[in-house]
Amino acid sequence: MESLTENEYYTNENATFGDRIYAAREAVGLSQSALASRLGVNLKTVKKWEEDITEPRANKLRMVSGLLNISITWLLIGEGIGPQGLESTTPISADLNEILVELRHTKSELLRLTQHLDVVDKKLRRLGNKSSE
């Protein structure tokens, strides 16, 4: 199995919206908390964007684009002006691409299920507290 370099991970056919925000943020040397602070959002919000759980609204998308010096089109679909130095010179195999897509999907599903478990757990705790009163 071939190994990926950091640049190969961000090819247009592989990168998700979250990957592109992460890559652009790293390219300008900002931490997640610094980006969140400059955008006026919570750190959790930026983390959710980078983990492909949520996406910013149009006004925040425009701000992200400006702060990271990239085009909105690149953020959304990987075309246009992106951060310097992220172009891949060697495409990855279709098999590896399929595995990366499956891995991202599984990660997103796991995060969604974890959030759902938290909600169910809170409901159960509330019910337990009510019955002990």
- Per the model's pLDDT, the better-predicted residue between 91 and 30 turns out to be 30
Distance between CA atoms of 69 and 82, rounded to whole angstroms?
8
Tens digit of pLDDT for each residue in 11-52?
556 788 999 999 899 988 999 999 999 999 999 999 999 999
pLDDT at position 3 over 80: no
Alpha-carbon torsion (120, 126, 130, 133), positive or negative? positive
Domain ranges of the chain: 6-131
Residue 110: CA count within 13 A, CB half-sphere: 7
Its pTM stands at: 0.57
Does the pLDDT at position 80 exceed 90? Answer: no
Rounded distance between C-alpha atoms, residue 48 and residue 97, angstroms = 22
CATH superfamily placement of domain 6-131: lambda repressor-like DNA-binding domains (1.10.260.40)
